[in-house]
Structure 1
Amino acid sequence: MIDLGISKIALIGAVALIVIGPEKLPRVARTVGALIGKAQRYVSDVKAEVNRSMELDELKKMKDTVESAARDVEHSVQTASSDFEKDWAETTAGLTGHEYTPLETPPLSYQHPGKKWRLKRGSVPQWYKARQGVRTKALSSAARVARFRPAVRPDV
């Protein structure tokens, strides 16, 4: 690119100050800066688009290789299954007189009639909890406030 050193930038600034004048120089500098920024953004967008297209080409190549590998695997599975079917037919050709009998089902294991696995039971009996004053049911906040609110006596 263009090799701009400090001396060249100072020379360009001095010529611009003489030609444009000190009144219009800040506005021109802002306009030039905005144009340079737009050019840099355009160049970066073009670079990003080129990189995306290169990655897309690489992905297409990778997709083609994966598809060809999948076709090869499918072909090998089909040939293996046809070979298996041929071998199976040859093996079972002499067994036409025998019938298939399924195995007996195993007897059911014993289950205790009072045991319900879905029911969760605590290890402390309810009568013990009641005697000790342990809460067994949850109360809402409003119910708890109403329960423990002191009784209001009318002043007579």
Structure 2
Amino acid sequence: MLDIGWLELLVIFVLLLVVLGPARLPEVARTMGLWLGRLRRMYNSFKLEMEREIGMDDVRRQLHNEQIMSEMKTLEQETKSILSDTQNALADPDSKPSNPPHKASQTPSDVDSPTTKATQSESG
């Protein structure tokens, strides 16, 4: 909102300290804090009143409902796609699936381990 950095705040504080003096600075800071709190409450009250007047709650609710409905349509399309794929697969069982499972290149019994080779050479 206001791009005030630490250096600017330090300069403002030093200027206030020089102008007001160390005796009045805490009193002025307290008064400014009270006024800022009042302004913030008045702003929030005004903002809530305006939102009520123009019906922002209804607009927010409608936007939320539209978002939910768009998500529901996406889910419906995905479900229909899965259902049609499943029905096609059931109707034509001879057709290969689009992603066939990968076959293992060797089964554990086909693999010759060093201990199996050693046992076969000793007995053979």
Structure having the larger proportion of residues in helix: 2
Task: Tell me the TM-score normalized by structure 2.
Answer: 0.43
Name which structure has the greater RCO, CA cutoff 8 Å, separation 6+: 2
- Rg larger for: 1
Task: Tell me the TM-score normalized by structure 1.
Answer: 0.35
